[in-house]
Amino acid sequence: MADVARAAGVSHQTVSRVLNDHPNVRATTRDRVLVAIRELGYRPNAAARTLVTRRTRTLGVISFNTTLYGPASMLYGIEQAARQYDYFVTVAALAALDRRSVLEAVDRLRDQAVEGIIVIAPQTTAVGALAKVPGDVAVVAVGCGTHAALASVAVDNQAGADRATSYLLDLGHRTVHHLAGPRSWLDAQEREAGWRRSLELRAAPCTPPLAGGDWSARTGYECGVRIAEDPAVTAVFCANDHMALGLLRALQQAGRRVPEEISVVGFDDIPEAEYFGPPLTTVRQDFDEVGRRALRALIEMIDHDAGSAREPRAAPRVAIEPTLVVRASAARPRPRI
């Protein structure tokens, strides 16, 4: 910092103000300091800053080994939000979200002096493990549903499923069948609950959902083979877009036209959804907003712990509204002859 100060012809306090984006620095002085920083290749000493401020500005994120669109997009959204808030991120990727693995990951991250932890917790086992985390570490869960009894930020899956189902009913379908996700996933549970609630409010017939073992296109295809054989099915709400893709393939092979004979709606709005055949009507989740709100909630909890407030730390629970994206895979049912 002293070298930068000499090169720019300013005091080291001025260099510090520029580095910390202090407003009381003239623009010409700031530019001179920034030029000196670039020419000298100066980088602030993170370890020294930690000793002075007693803040590492590092957050832990616990995720799991998956290529699923939702969890992967949440992780990306969290990393982008951390950069905006000038925090570093350390990621612990687990093979499974069981209780032991989650708690061990929390301990490892605490050993690295993270200030707080975000956990991508879409499964019931992960939420159960978080209830055992010591109260002296700030933890926010994401993707854990809107009913978990802990600090959390989640898309309102139930509201999204309700919108998708209501849209199909408004088109004139007598009922809507459901291709469900894995029972152990909170997203799948809430999407099924939203589908069921929408049917009940309209007094529409409710058949048992077709439950899949995973979220894959293969599951959608295998269930779709059975759906294609039932002429009474005119509308299907799928718990995610990949299963909708498999369903579309099975219907095509069986000669069932979409949306002329069967309407299909998905959930997620993956980047490929608008290129399906036909383009998929689906429910969009705002993962960037999930990341921003999770970071904001966690930082507020960290600041509370660092302050002198005596009242207990709040446990925010934030629900983010999804959006129905209408494309070409759903239409009014054909008149019965």
Report residue 30: phi and psi, to 5°.
-60, -45
- What average pLDDT does the segment 18-27 reach? 81
- With DSSP H G I counted as helix, E B as strand and the rest as coil, what are the percentages for the chain, rounded to 5? 45, 15, 40
Tokens representing 296 are 């904001």
325 lies in a domain?
Answer: no
327 lies in a domain?
Answer: no
pLDDT band per the 50, 70, 90 thresholds, residue 53 = very low
236 lies in a domain?
Answer: yes
Is 279 found in the same domain as 291? no
CA distance linking residue 204 with residue 182, whole number of Å: 24
CA distance linking residue 194 with residue 200, whole number of Å: 10
- Cβ-proximal residues to 281 (8 Å cutoff; 6+ apart), any chain: 164, 167, 263, 264, 265, 266, 324, 325, 326, 327, 328, 329, 330
The string of pLDDT tens digits covering residues 111-130 is 988 999 999 988 888 888 88
- What average pLDDT does the segment 80-101 reach? 89
337 lies in a domain?
Answer: no
Is 178 found in the same domain as 223? yes
Checking 3-10 for CB contacts under 8 A at 24+ apart, the result is 3/40, 3/42, 4/33, 4/36, 4/37, 4/40, 4/42, 7/36, 7/39, 7/40, 8/32, 8/33, 8/35, 8/36
The string of pLDDT tens digits covering residues 129-144 is 888 888 888 999 998 8
In a 13 Å sphere around the CA of 312, the CA atoms on its Cβ side amount to 4
- From first CA to last CA, the distance across the chain in angstroms is 83
Is 266 found in the same domain as 252? yes
pLDDT at 335: 80
Residue scoring higher pLDDT (9 or 96): 9
pLDDT at 38: 87
Is 209 found in the same domain as 239? yes
Is 250 found in the same domain as 271? yes
232 lies in a domain?
Answer: yes
Its pTM stands at 0.81
Is 217 found in the same domain as 263? yes
Residue ranges making up the domain that contains 260:
157-285
77 lies in a domain?
Answer: yes
- Mean pLDDT across the chain, nearest whole number? 90
- DSSP per-residue letters across 125-144: HHHHHHTTS-TTSEEEEESS
Is 173 found in the same domain as 128? no
334 lies in a domain?
Answer: no
pLDDT of 45 over the 90 cut: no
Is 39 found in the same domain as 75? no
Number of domains in the chain: 3
Is 269 found in the same domain as 206? yes
Residue scoring higher pLDDT (16 or 70): 70
Residue 14: which CATH number? 1.10.260.40
pLDDT at 48: 56
Is 276 found in the same domain as 181? yes
Is 123 found in the same domain as 235? no
- Cβ-proximal residues to 312 (8 Å cutoff; 6+ apart), any chain: none
pLDDT at 310: 62
pLDDT of 211 over the 60 cut: yes
Residue 295: which CATH number? 3.40.50.2300
307 lies in a domain?
Answer: yes
Is 89 found in the same domain as 35? no
pLDDT of 287 over the 50 cut: yes
